Structure 1
Amino acid sequence: MTEKSELPVHMRRAEFDPVPELAELRDGPAIARIHTVVGSQAWLVTRYADVREVLGDQQRFSHARFLERRPPGMADLSDEEIAQARAGNLLAQDPPDHTRLRRFLIPEFTVRRMKRLEPRIREVVDENLDAMEKEGPPADLVANFALPVPSLVICELLGVPYVDRAEFQARSNRMLDLSVPPKERTRIARESRAYMAKLVAKAQAEPGEDILGMLVREHGDDLTTDELIGIASLLLIAGHETTANMLGLGTLALLKHPDQLALVRDHPEAVEPAVEELLRWLSIVHSGIPRVTTTEVEIAGQKIGPGELVVLALPAANRDPALLPDPERLDVTRGEMGHMAFGHGIHHCLGAPLARMEMRIAFPALLQRFPTLRAAGTEPGFRSFNVIYGLTSLEVAW
């Protein structure tokens, strides 16, 4: 397994905080040549303004060309498998392909549509809290709350059987774990694709009222089967991994800042800004998909030629003093918008309204149900090597 010291600097954390070397890089040269965790060389961009510029410029910084480079672990994939890996995956697309695919999905993820889900999300949260309370302390907050809440919601939205959750959660966790050998992650990705292909075939035969059924009914002539599989796969993984890790890590952050926790628990108006601040301060997505330059560019005074890999340090950007004062301090009252925890530009997270709603409901519900909630027993486990930072476990009592 890769040692922490071998992780690229933007992935190294000391619990919640990026390592000091990352801030030193951002506040100094602002850009550096690094080895990524899979061995490729890349330019690491750290300042808020530079990261935002890259995220907003699809012409000079391409998503699609990353897979064309055949990253480690994909070297033995056939051209057909590479095409299948790209199909429907919005994170592997540039305009106009990205624009076409996203247009089909936007109506399902509007704030208005998410509002209609609110009663069901509250039910899911309460059901999981009921189960925790009935079982009694101690409890693993990750396994009993943070993971099942968004998993059930995205399963219902997509039409994925919730009974399959253990299998798809295990697969997605391994696929996103960069300490797993690339060939093993590729094998798991093939298994995941085969699973989703069965669900797509079922939806094509009998489209339901879920997102998959809607796509088949309303856009079946516009989307290939491979694109349906790619869309569903991305939504399933992104729809539970990100929110689950925010709920687990965010709860631990609040437990370690009891004054901030009390605000979220006792003051409804404090919840929305608290969610935004936690998103910024934790920045659980280290970097997102690497970009490939399509022409010569200049970032932070560094000229970079075409065909170079560019990686974005989101934790550094979201704690840049240029974004807000005293950025290292967690302050749930400020609720600064403008953070890039959900990205920026045309690839801004499609599911952001859903993730925000889940967190706005889940955090206060948990803290009100268990007003004496505390970390207990074993030290929490951090998943340092994962594409999405978070906790493997968090034992709590009340």
Structure 2
Amino acid sequence: MTERDQDTTETDGEPLDLADQELVRDPFTAYAPVRERGRMVRGRVRGVDLMWVATRHDDIRTIMSDPRFTIDATAVPGASVAHRTEQTWQARGMYAGHEKYLRAGIFDADGTDHRRLRGLVTAAFSPRRVAALRPRIDAIAAQLLDRLPDHAENGVVDLVEHFARPLPITVICELIAVPEADRDRWRARSATLSAGVCGEELGEALAGMVEDARTLIDHHAAHPGGDLISELLSPRHRDRLSTDELVALITNLVVAGHITTVNLIANSTEALLTHPDQLALLREDPTLMPYAVDELMRYCGPVVRALPRYATCDTTVGSTPVQAGDAVLPIVSAANRDPAAFTDPDRLDLGRTRRGREPHLGFGHGAHRCLGAHLAQEEAAAALTALFDRVPDLRLATDPKDLRRGTNPVNWHLKALPVRL
């Protein structure tokens, strides 16, 4: 930790503990006092150098799109900058040597490398290609709902385990052609990486997913098909992508393409069941669904914070001076409830974006806006449509305040969602 990081001025105050359980349990409410301060504050994570914490909508849009900020720590001119994401994974238990997959990934690349990596897969997640997947997504949702009563005990079933979780992992595994016999293992490892666990369990899960990705690459190299990985291994693309980059891409697609959508479906279901007036609007007007998914991503989206950005020069964010090399951590859940950007931001309003409100930041902004945003929205729309059509009397099987949430400070998620069919 640098001398400047250790120093906190009177204005900055004591660094914010980003693992504080109040922030983890309800980031939408707990980050509000931080957002209302006149300046950004310093935040700390165990084993990671200090970062500025950005909570305002306009500030976060700036750092996500302004060329004075980069997502690649090595791109800061003239100084060696601590890679906060790498430090975070190391503190959580990532095995030595696996940091190269963070550096090789599409999430941590910028500039020409990012454009090259993203360009290879953008077409697979285009609105047209995602729309073509909708019949298959609907079929998977129907199959899961057919089996839902078999998992019920006294009419109660966990919707996370038996609906929200298997739907997205099935879709993404089909997209990259993971053999069906291996999918439970991929799902379990992906869930572990996102659950907030640390130590040997985390290291083992990440190492296992890397090994699975390498095995998958070998399988598709020997038996090419019509899937995305076989396409990337074709002579047309193979010299544009290293093996480490392909391993990183596969793990990124599986973890990001699976967990965010699982939690969006579960969080959205809970929000609709606890806001019956909004659910009634959706039932009365099914054309509202795309706008509803957009609003649900703003109101109860699972992404608490995005990857840190690094200042490439001395600048300011809002009224806060930021020096070259400083890391700024965007708190997306705080920005999505910012009253300066949204009218009555703590109210769920499924028609909000139909009326042309300011866009949320749940899928990011700028060059790094979520690659799979269209797919996540389509899966959530398919899941919610099928669920409430097939189970019109669906209701929570417990008091909402008794629902258990995970401890990962990055992802706001339910550990279980018991519902009565």
Q: CA deviation at 1:28?
A: 2.1
**Residues 277, 331 of structure 1: 8 Å contact kept:** yes
Partner Cα separation in structure 1 for residue 190 and residue 412 of structure 2 = 14
**Residues 174, 180 of structure 1: 8 Å contact kept:** no
Q: CA deviation at 1:91?
A: 0.8
Structure 1 partner of 2:6: none
Structure 2 partner of 1:213: 230
Partner Cα separation in structure 2 for residue 388 and residue 135 of structure 1 = 26
Q: Deviations over 1:169-194 (max 9, x none)?
A: 2222322344523x653343222101
**Residues 128, 145 of structure 1: 8 Å contact kept:** yes
**Residues 382, 391 of structure 1: 8 Å contact kept:** yes
Structure 2 partner of 1:43: 52
Structure 2 partner of 1:307: 325
**Residues 337, 346 of structure 2: 8 Å contact kept:** yes
Structure 2 partner of 1:18: 28
Q: Report the TM-score when normalising by structure 1.
A: 0.91
Q: One-letter code of the match for 2:100?
A: A
**Structure 1 residues 208 and 191: alpha-carbon distance in aligned structure 2, compared to 1, 3 A threshold:** same
Alignment of 1:1-398 (within 5 A): 7-8=18-19, 12-14=23-25, 18-20=28-30, 22-36=31-45, 38-65=47-74, 68=83, 70-72=86-88, 74=90, 81-87=98-104, 89-136=105-152, 137-181=155-199, 184-217=201-234, 218-335=236-353, 336=357, 338-377=359-398, 379-398=402-421
**Residues 177, 387 of structure 1: 8 Å contact kept:** no
**Residues 376, 395 of structure 1: 8 Å contact kept:** yes
**Structure 1 residues 244 and 79: alpha-carbon distance in aligned structure 2, compared to 1, 3 A threshold:** closer
Partner Cα separation in structure 2 for residue 97 and residue 320 of structure 1 = 33
Partner Cα separation in structure 1 for residue 327 and residue 190 of structure 2 = 25
**Structure 1 residues 7 and 386: alpha-carbon distance in aligned structure 2, compared to 1, 3 A threshold:** closer
Q: CA deviation at 1:19?
A: 2.8
Q: One-letter code of the match for 1:56?
A: S
Q: Report the TM-score when normalising by structure 2.
A: 0.86
Partner Cα separation in structure 2 for residue 164 and residue 134 of structure 1 = 23
SS at the partner of 2:240?
coil
Partner Cα separation in structure 2 for residue 220 and residue 39 of structure 1 = 36
Partner Cα separation in structure 2 for residue 368 and residue 78 of structure 1 = 46
**Structure 1 residues 73 and 348: alpha-carbon distance in aligned structure 2, compared to 1, 3 A threshold:** closer
Partner Cα separation in structure 2 for residue 78 and residue 334 of structure 1 = 45
Q: CA deviation at 1:73?
A: 5.0
Q: Deviations over 1:36-86 (max 9, x none)?
A: 255431100111110000011244333344774641553898996433432
Q: CA deviation at 1:386?
A: 4.7
Structure 1's unaligned 5+ residue stretches are none
Of all paired residues, the percent bearing the same amino acid is 34
**Residues 17, 45 of structure 2: 8 Å contact kept:** no
Q: Deviations over 1:116-154 (max 9, x none)?
A: 111111101111111114544211000111001111111
**Structure 1 residues 38 and 268: alpha-carbon distance in aligned structure 2, compared to 1, 3 A threshold:** farther
SS at the partner of 1:391?
coil
Q: Deviations over 1:179-222 (max 9, x none)?
A: 523x6533432221011100011111222111111111241222
Q: One-letter code of the match for 2:23?
A: R
**Residues 264, 271 of structure 1: 8 Å contact kept:** yes
**Residues 150, 244 of structure 1: 8 Å contact kept:** yes
Partner Cα separation in structure 2 for residue 297 and residue 360 of structure 1 = 41
Q: CA deviation at 1:337?
A: 5.5
Q: CA deviation at 1:263?
A: 2.1
Partner Cα separation in structure 1 for residue 380 and residue 89 of structure 2 = 35
Partner Cα separation in structure 1 for residue 22 and residue 225 of structure 2 = 40
**Residues 94, 202 of structure 2: 8 Å contact kept:** no
Partner Cα separation in structure 2 for residue 294 and residue 79 of structure 1 = 28
**Structure 1 residues 142 and 344: alpha-carbon distance in aligned structure 2, compared to 1, 3 A threshold:** same
Partner Cα separation in structure 1 for residue 37 and residue 21 of structure 2 = 15
Q: Which moved more, 1:29-38 or 1:203-212?
A: 29-38
Q: Deviations over 1:352-372 (max 9, x none)?
A: 111111111111210111111
**Structure 1 residues 72 and 125: alpha-carbon distance in aligned structure 2, compared to 1, 3 A threshold:** closer
Partner Cα separation in structure 2 for residue 14 and residue 135 of structure 1 = 28
Q: Which moved more, 1:113-122 or 1:335-344?
A: 335-344
SS at the partner of 2:321?
strand
Partner Cα separation in structure 2 for residue 158 and residue 251 of structure 1 = 28
Structure 2's unaligned 5+ residue stretches are 1-15, 75-80
Q: Deviations over 1:231-256 (max 9, x none)?
A: 11110111110100000111001111
RMSD: 2.5
Q: CA deviation at 1:334?
A: 1.3
